[in-house]
Amino acid sequence: MEKILERLNQTCDSYSLSITQTKSTMVKFADSKVTTVQNWNVSNVSILLTRRNKFLTSTFSSIEEMEKSLPSLNEKLGLLEPTELVPTISESDKMVRVSNTDERISMAINDPSPMVKIILDSAEHPLFGTLNLVETTRKLVTSSGFDGEETRNYFVSYFRSIDKGRSGHWSTVSSDYSDSSLSSTVKKSAEYASIDGEATLDEGRHDVVLSPSVLANLVEIIGYMSSAYNLMSSMSFLAKSKPGDNVASSKFTLRDIPKNNMVGSFNFDDEGTLTFNKPIIENGTLKTFLFNNSLGKKYNAKSTGNAGWVEPRPWALEIEKGDVKEESLFDGNLIFFNNNWYTRLQNYYEGQFSTVGRDAIIAFKDGKPVGRIRRARISDKLPCIIKRIESLSKDVYKQMWWEIEVPTISPFALIKDVMITKG
Amino acid sequence: MSNRSDDVERILHYAEKRGFDYIESRYHSLDVQNFSVLNGVTTNVNFSLSSGFSVRVAKDNMLYFFSSPDEQKLKESLNYFHPIDAKPWTPSIEKNENLYKGNYEVAQKIPLDMISLEEKIRYMKGVTKEITDIKISSKIVSFEIDYIESMEVKDIVTSDGSKVHGKVPRVWNIYSIVMKNGDRSINSFADELGSSGGYEVVNSWNLSEYLSGKVKSFDEILSKGISPSTSTQDIVLSGQIAGIIAHESAGHPFEADRILGREGAQAGMSYLTGRDLSSDRSFGSEVVNVVDDPTLPYSMGFFLSDDEGITARRKFLIKNGMIDELLQSRITSAKFNVRSNGSVRASDFTGEPLIRMSNTFFLPSSIKFEEMIEDIDDGIFMKSFMEWNIDDLRWSQRYVGLEAYEIKKGELGSPILFPVIESNTNKIYNSIVAVDNTLSFYAGMCGKGEPSQGVPVWMGGPDLKLKGIKVKKLGD
């Protein structure tokens, strides 16, 4: 390793070397059976090299592969033309060592059978889903002398219970394992699957309650849209706003929370800047875009500790809880979306999108569930969704699954006048 | 064979000594070079090499998958493995006679490494300048081009005798455009240009001309576009929209693992789940023929052996409006009493091999486009799309037009602002009354699996004529 760093010091103006080693096991379930057990022991070695207004990035599966490729990377770097926007390494020579692991998760990576038993014993209906156990060590060394290493582990589980054609979904993610959290995730999916009856729905505007999962899926897009790269490319409805502008309901606060108890902490970014929790939108007001050093400089701002050498990104998100009891949100006539998928945008600049409801879409009349609605979409604009947030639940839930890649803490949300379409 | 064939053989033999019933051993590398030019500025230049091994084994029909870039670590994982005490989902692992034994490769007429990276970047900057210099009434707010080239190499051996070496270079272009005119804006994010092959693929795109056409068309839509009439009408869908329909509502729901519920908590199931195909194979109108064909030369989804070592071939999913064949693997075929038809792929060495589409498309006929629209008095031609999605049974689907035009008395007319089709599989496939004689293909990255695996595909078809489809306005 020292030889590699020495060579980098000789050939580049600056560099950042990131090595992530991951051991993980994933068990997948279908129809209450195990479809496959997957086990990974992998590395991701990424490097940023800069020289006189030129840069390149590179990623390998092993340090050996990277070492072999260094001469040709240096040659390629030399041949590039200068560019205006070059990633900048932070002037930090700090040493950071963080280890935050749960022994139960580490052990289960080698033998997940006890957790599999808890899952299958908790299933009341045919169960589909995933248990993912992850332990990862991330190292970062930069040409400024930054030397960081953090080890963390976490588990993600999500389940879909299917009872006589009716399905329900729930997910959780945590860096603290508990049997009860696993079994309650299975049971919560079964609760939604058990809601009976059929209801009809006319296309048009309705009040809706979004589950934490649906809200997190939509807000994840807003999280990425707050990246300064998407401000620069205008692939964001937020590109029309500036910090201080009102962009959402006063009830809505969205934070980037690298310090969290979902997947452990991300303590430093890819440029060697120490991370910190921050509001992106606070009480409806846009507070900041997410910056790395070079985009911060371009927009007269400081890095927010969200590098990405090229594109800043959110680490983990939190939607601040509200002041309403969960059950009170359902008072009145409304549509509840337990889950969604396939969110696609017609226009990122306007935030025009649609997403398909799945699992339990329930019609509520006078606060009572009256039946399940088949095949409904939310077809609206993201800025309208966050402006029309009426109330949020007191209880929040940690969410991560196939359609939520950024771990997110999210409440239930009541949103007024949302366009629902059917096909 | 490559120098990795010995490695995968060694891993196979190592696993064999541990008493598994079935073993696949794979070396898989993806060597990628990509860069981005945003508003004329190079914002990213990246080289990545993902390379490593995976081994998938079965013991008493329970499947285990191990992956590592390091052979020794992979062997350690095999040694530490604890059998799971649970019911296996897989009924049996098929031993297939149609095994692939040999090499395949896509030739590069102009090798990708013959053109320097700097020349490629200069070319894309030149394209950017030509596009942003076009005199139009709308403002180009942002314009980004991403160029991606890759070389995928696989060595696969299986315990029943497959021995595969495959090598596929690919070139891909992604562009995004944001344009504004008064209160109106339009946004395109498109990845349709892509093929396997060498740099000749880039030359074949005529990128400046292609993107100029797009920008002028978007300008016309912004400045002259009218709202669609929200009524039931005859519509014509381009080969691009035919492609996404074939992919989403014929290809995915014909994946046998999805029908059986194996992806139930992720990408969902299928409208064919639970249907008795031995008694009823009716599907759509008799002009509908949809195939999945990995053997198309220079396609994005090209392969001659699948990742279970089975020889690949063209599959008719829908023949003359009837369900013909599903996409099968070694672990699903027994449930349908058929043999695997070689439909399995993994995105990289960390990916479990899964049933995947390759190049999925409607087949054309002999009718010309003009003949197809001549009897439409009042309809819509939808040429391209931006927003689309489909439910997790692959039934209710939505496509929102980006470039769309009126059809008036058999001729194309004014541009239309973002018409919406939100319909279902039964209605769409039974409303197709004609397909024309064109055939075009569009690249895409298809997602499936957990962890999600993106694999390159083509989607396409001729222009399709549909009778009596309800059209909605965006926002209604």
Q: Which residues pair with B108 in a beta bridge?
A: none
Q: A254 and A280: one domain? A: yes
Q: Which of B44, B67, B185 sits opposite A347 (nearest CB)?
A: B185
Q: Is there a contact between A59 and B48 if contact means CB atoms under 8 Å apart?
A: yes
Q: Do A250 and A298 fall into the same domain?
A: yes
User: A286 and A163: one domain?
Assistant: no
Is the backbone of residue A109 left (phi > 0), alpha (psi -120 to 50) or beta? alpha
Torsion angle (degrees, nearest 10) of CA B368, B373, B375, B381: 170
Rg of chain A over Cα atoms, rounded to whole angstroms, equals: 23
Q: Which of B263, B386, B424 sits opposite A423 (nearest CB)?
A: B424
C-beta separation of B391 from A356 below 8 A: yes
- Say yes or no for a CB contact (<8 Å) between B141 and A347: no
Over residues B351-370, the pLDDT tens digits come to 999 999 999 999 999 999 99
| Residue carrying structure tokens 């693992």 | B257
What are the residue boundaries of the structural domains of chain B, listed by start? 5-224, 232-473
* Residues B155 and B126: beta-carbon distance below 8 Å: no
Residue A99 sits in the same domain as residue A185: yes
A101 and A207 in a single domain? The answer is no
Statement to judge: residues A67 and A52 lie in one domain: yes
Give the CA count within 13 Å in the CB-facing half-sphere of B67: 28
Nearest one of B8, B51, B281 to B162, comparing CA atoms: B8
CA A46 to CA A29: how far, in whole Å?
Answer: 33
Residue A61: helix, strand or coil by DSSP? Answer: coil
> Cα B159 from chain centroid?
30
Domain co-membership, A102 together with A130:
yes
Residues A119 and A95 in one domain: yes
**A192, A225, A258 — which closes off a domain?**
A192
| Dist. CA A68–CA A248, nearest whole Å | 50
Say if the Cβ atoms of B389 and A342 lie within 8 Å: yes
Say if B68 is an interface residue toward chain A (CB within 8 Å).
Answer: yes
Looking at the fold, whether A293 and A401 belong to one and the same domain comes out as yes
Q: Which of residues 30-59 of A touch B (CB under 8 A)?
A: 30-43, 55-59
A residues 328..357 contacting B (CB < 8 A): 341-350, 352-356
> Whole-prediction pTM value?
0.97
Same domain, A134 and A90: yes
d(Cα B430, Cα B75) in Å, to the nearest integer? 53
What digits encode the pLDDT tens for the residues B92-151?
A: 999 989 999 999 999 999 999 999 999 999 999 999 999 999 999 999 999 999 999 999
Residues 396-415 of B with CB under 8 A from A: 396-398, 400, 402
Contact assessment for residue A105 and residue A177, using Cβ atoms and an 8 Å cutoff: yes
Partners of B63 on chain A (C-beta within 8 Å) are 35-37
- ipTM of the complex as predicted: 0.96
B387 part of contact set with chain A, CB < 8 Å: yes
**Last residue of one domain, picked from the residues A192, A214, A239:** A192
- Residues in B closer than 8 angstroms to A38, CB to CB, are 64-67, 352
Nearest chain A residue to B48, by CA? A59
How many domains in chain A?
A: 2
Query: Which chain B residue has the Cα nearest residue A129?
Result: B265
Helix (H, G, I), strand (E, B) or coil at A221: helix
Contact A235 B178 (CB under 8 A): yes
Closest chain B C-alpha to A324 CA, distance in angstroms:
30
Range of the structural domain that residue A421 is part of: 196-423
Q: Which CATH superfamily is domain B5-224 in?
A: PmbA/TldD superfamily (3.30.2290.10)
**Residue in A65, A347, A402 nearest the CB of B450:** A402
What the block records as the tokens of A282 is 């606070």
Q: Tell me the chain A residues in contact with residue B51 when contact means C-beta distances shorter than 8 Å.
A: 61, 65
The residue of chain B with its CA nearest to that of A204 is B476
Residue A249 backbone phi and psi in degrees, to 5: -60, 150
List the 109-128 stretch of B: residues with Cβ below 8 A of A.
116-118, 121-122
pLDDT digits (tens, 9 = 90+) for B64-95: 999 999 999 999 988 877 788 889 998 899 99
**Residues of chain B with C-beta less than 8 angstroms from the C-beta of A32:** 87
A250 and A391 fall within a common domain: yes
Cα-flanking dihedrals φ and ψ of residue A76, to 5°? -65, -40
Contact in structure between B329 and B341 (CB atoms under 8 Å): no
Answer whether B266 touches A (CB < 8 Å).
yes
Q: Among A157, A192, A227, which residue terminates a domain? A: A192
Q: In whole angstroms, what is the distance from residue A318 CA to residue A262 CA?
A: 11
Does B390 contact A at CB distance below 8 Å?
A: yes
Q: Do B85 and A113 touch (CB under 8 A)?
A: yes
Closest partner residue to B395 (CB to CB) among A112, A353, A375 is A375
8 Å CB contact of B265 and A232: no
Residues of chain B positioned with their CB less than 8 A from the CB of A76: 47, 117
- Residue B454 pairs with which residues in a beta bridge? B447
3-state secondary structure chain B: CCCCHHHHHHHHHHHHCCCCCEEEEEEEEEEEEEEEEECCEEEEEEEEEEEEEEEEEEECCEEEEEEECCHHHHHHHHHHCCCCCCCECCCCCCCCCCECEEEEECCCCCCHHHCCHHHHHHHHHHHHHHHHCCCCCCEEEEEEEEEEEEEEEEEEEECCCCEEEEEEEEEEEEEEEEEEECCEEEEEEEEEEEEECCCHHHHHHCHHHHHHHHHHHHHHHHHHCECCCCCEEEEEECHHHHHHHHHHHHHHHHEHHHHCCCCCCCCCCCCCCCCCCCCCCECCCCCCCEEECCCCCCCCCCCCECCCCEECCCEEEEECCEECCCECCCCCHHHHCCCCCCCEECCCCCCCCEECCCEEEECCCCECHHHHHCCCCEEEEECCEEEEEECCCCCEEEEEECCEEEEECCEEEEEECCEEEEEEHHHHHHHEEEEECCCEEEEEEEEECCCCEEEEEEEEECCEEEEEEEEEECCC
Q: What is the Cα–Cα distance from A270 to A17, expressed in whole angstroms?
A: 8
User: What is the full per-residue pLDDT of chain A (423 aa) written as tens digits?
Assistant: 888 999 999 999 999 999 999 999 999 999 999 999 999 999 999 999 999 999 999 999 999 999 999 999 999 999 999 999 999 999 999 999 999 999 999 999 999 999 999 999 999 999 999 999 999 999 999 999 999 999 999 999 999 999 999 999 999 999 999 999 999 999 999 999 999 999 999 999 999 999 999 999 999 999 999 999 999 999 999 999 999 999 999 999 999 999 999 999 999 999 999 999 999 999 999 999 999 999 999 999 999 999 999 999 999 999 999 999 999 999 999 999 999 999 999 999 999 999 999 999 999 999 999 999 999 999 999 999 999 999 999 999 999 999 999 999 999 999 999 999 998
Q: What are phi and psi of A153, to 5 degrees?
A: -140, 160
